Chains A and B, each alone.
Chain A
Amino acid sequence: MEKLLRAMEVNEKARISAITARGEMGRRLSDMGLIPGTVVQVVGRAPLKDPVALKLRDFILTLRNNEADCIMVGKLEEENG
């Protein structure tokens, strides 16, 4: 099941399946390590539900919801260990 990153619950983990951002924004996201295949976990949302805080590659990144809308995530296959 693919969905928008915006729809993820707090503490939910998922794997990025596609990024539709192009140009500057797209390059910024990929420079920060948001590329398809990356596992992200939503670690929190600001008090007004926006922006969202993500954990990936051992650090925490914030994104506004409209920026998160160009990121699609898929379900994380159960990993052993």
Chain B
Amino acid sequence: MKTIALAGNPNSGKTTLFNAITGARQKVGNYPGITVERKEGSVNLDDTQVRVVDLPGCYSLSAYSQEELVARKVLVDERPDIAVGIVDATKLERHLYLTVQFLELGVPTVLALNMMDEANKKGLRIDHKRLASLLNCPVVETVARSSRGTRELMQAALEHDKKRAGTWEPLQISYGADLDTALDAMVELIESDNFLANRYPARWVALKYLENDAEIISQGRKIGGIAPDLEDIVAITRKHCQATLDTVPEAVIADYRYGFINSILRQGVLLHEPTQSDRIDISAKLDAVLTNRLFGPVIMFAVLYGMFQITFTFGEIPMGWFEAMFGWLSTTTAALIPEGLVQSLVVSGIIDGVGGVMGFVPLIAIMFLLISFLEDSGYMARVAYMLDRVLRMFGLHGCSAMPFIVSGGIMGGCAVPGVMATRTLRSPKEKLATLITAPFMPCGAKLPVFLLLIAAFFSENEAQIMFGITLFAWTMALLVSKLLRSTIIKGDPTPFVMELPPYRLPTVKGILIHTWERVWSYIRKAGTVILAVSILLWAAMTFPTLPESVTEKFEVNRQVVAASAQNKEEQKGMIESIDNLEAQTALRHSVAGRIGTYLEPVSQWAGFDWRTNIALVGGFAAKEVIVSSLGTAYSLGEVDPEASTSLSSRIAADPSWNQATALALIIFVLLYAPCFVTVVAMAKESSWSWAIFSTTFNTVLGFTLAVITYRIGAWLLV
């Protein structure tokens, strides 16, 4: 059993190569740093079992980002037999910077010159034999997209492992007279003391001390010993660099490292023959239009809007199938199980609950298919680039735009894929702020509530009110982000030092793998947490059931009607209204109903009575439930959320409702706790404590604003 670690810059084709070698399902992206988690696969090569570890993409082995720390930790602590350094052959100088650091660390390294097809097209001639002899490591040419050279690469890796037999041979680069003197002095101290020797080579530790590497220095301090002496040498060197060169040692080190790479490339390794087609030029030409001051934003909004339209137009078709399928399942099950609690549990609790959640699957699949395309093609990085200036003012990042739009930034999205889209944000603080505020957007399930209330109270200004709601949602999302980023998730903005990758046509395989992974993780969730919660909510709206004395009274009433002399039509109508009244009474009697009644004294501040409260509690299961629970609470029986005219006239006529109540409810529904599917998605993207925080915080905020609106409204209406 051999272990090979794949390492390389973001956009070096590392993930594609990993897929080509192992055939494993893994995410491929063109967005810098898309690989976050540790991925492993295995492959059998000439009777040797090989474990392949895909390290997170990183630019260097310093302790700047989580990715770099992880990559370093795996190399040092797990000691893979071979590290494969993957470089984009068209950006050799930039990408070798990381590979050289593997060589300095000493881990047995094989270099993969990837994207050789593009390099050839650009007229780049690379003498890989000379490069191999100058770097003293095997070099293999590959084209990961078409699996070219992957077998040779693996064979070279295993052969190199046989030759090196696990020995680490650190490469020594000269860092100029000043630093070399300091390094030598430090190496002598480190070697005599065996300082950190079980983990790192001596010169590498010295180098990291000079680079002011926080992780290594704190490890050293824990050991004590010669650590203060090393820090003294560093301090003296630092002072000297500042005085003589007006710079810091880490800059000198980077300078010499690039110098080392350039000296190799100039020794006949890299030749450039001018050609007609130049990929960077194609990208530059595309960028001249796509990020143009005028056309850029216009095209961007068109793309985002189009994406949104496609998702919800095409998503509706398979969503209908899912609905029909679960509807059929409900009816069939209802016919099979005798009427009673078990039937109610299976039909209303399990099938309806899980069905409602699975109904999102087509939306998520299409949304991620499109997002993957935008990511892999390189356009997503441009969206972040264009919107960064605006979003930064609110403590967000350019990449926050996508989750907002997906969540319903243009009316009728869905916060579940929206929250899941925050994983393109590489900066934890900005991601958290986006995560918490994205559910403010008017998602598709909130729309029926708004339409109902607008029809009842503002029927003359429907379009304006709907537009106003969207605008209000954006304002709140941005202001609350600003508030959060200046209080509990305070911190400097994450630097926007980001690569704009060249435009590439994504591979179908890559996009499909990418989409499937996200959809599958969502489906898995629906089977566990979501099933449990939907059963819980069903129980809350069912138990305790009405005492027999009460149900008997309804039964007696029904028999009286049935026995009366009226015609069939009238009888049917009267029995239906008795059924509805019974449902209303049962709902009020249940735990949810009691909660609603119990909350009434408080919710009255915003003008909500117990019936609204039940609907809002139900809305935590899914916002679609709000309208249907209001229907039950107003004893209208089953109300179809799409056709709620009778409910709207009932509410309009109810003396406890007026325009102020309606507006307060609109604001509350817009802002309060996201539905539990979203909460689960949030917990997955951050942590349960943040998901719970967001649920509480959003509810309190929504309620406060609803109270203010209701009070001002009531005062104006008087």
Contacts and interface: CB of A to CB of B under 8 A. Distances in A.
Interface of A: 18-19, 22-33, 35-37, 43-51, 53, 55, 57-64, 67
A63 B60 contact: no
Contacts of B64: 24, 27-28, 31
B303 interface: no
Contact of A47 (B97, B255, B291, B495): B291
A8 B621 CA distance: 54
Contacts of A37: 255
Interface residues of B, number: 47
19 contacts: A27-B211, A28-B64, A32-B497, A33-B94, A35-B251, A36-B251, A44-B287, A47-B291, A51-B496, A53-B385, A53-B500, A58-B93, A60-B502, A61-B498, A62-B385, A62-B498, A64-B388, A67-B495, A67-B497
Interface string B398-439: 000000000000000000000000000000000000000000
B490 interface: no
A32 B33 CA distance: 14
Given A26-B250, A27-B211, A46-B291, A64 B60 contact: no
A43 B497 contact: no
A58 B389 contact: no
Leading 3 A-B pairs by shortest Cβ distance: A30-B254, A31-B60, A48-B389
A53 B500 CA distance: 8
B136 interface: no
A66 B145 CA distance: 38
Given A26-B251, A46-B388, 20 more contacts: A27-B64, A32-B59, A33-B93, A33-B94, A33-B254, A35-B254, A35-B255, A44-B291, A46-B296, A46-B386, A51-B389, A51-B496, A55-B280, A58-B92, A59-B91, A61-B498, A62-B497, A62-B498, A64-B493, A64-B496
Nearest to B390: A48
A30 B294 CA distance: 33
B643 interface: no
B392 interface: yes
A60 B381 CA distance: 11
Given A59-B91, A61-B498, A31 B254 contact: yes
Contact of B91 (A28, A58, A63, A64): A58
B500 A62 contact: yes
Nearest to A22: B248
Contacts of A60: 283, 499-502
A49 B390 CA distance: 11
A51 B496 CA distance: 8
B62 interface: yes
Given A27-B62, A44-B287, A47-B291, A33 B97 contact: yes
A46 B97 CA distance: 28
A63 B90 contact: no
A68 B388 CA distance: 15
B495 A28 contact: yes
B149 interface: no
A49 B247 CA distance: 30
Contacts of B250: 26-27, 30
B344 to A, nearest CB: 56
A18 B94 CA distance: 20
A9 to B, nearest CB: 14
A59 B251 contact: no
A81 B385 CA distance: 34
Contacts of B163: none
Contacts of A57: 91, 93-94
Interface in B48-67: 59-60, 62, 64
A23 B597 CA distance: 58
A58 B265 CA distance: 14
Contacts of A63: 495-497
B389 A30 contact: no
B93 A46 contact: no
Nearest to A49: B389
B327 interface: no
B37 interface: no
B388 A30 contact: no
B500 A25 contact: no
B255 A36 contact: yes
A64 B280 contact: no
Given A47-B386, A48-B389, A31 B97 contact: yes
A25 B297 contact: no
A30 B251 contact: yes
B236 interface: no
A43 B287 contact: yes
A19 B251 contact: yes
B339 interface: no
Interface in B85-107: 90-94, 97
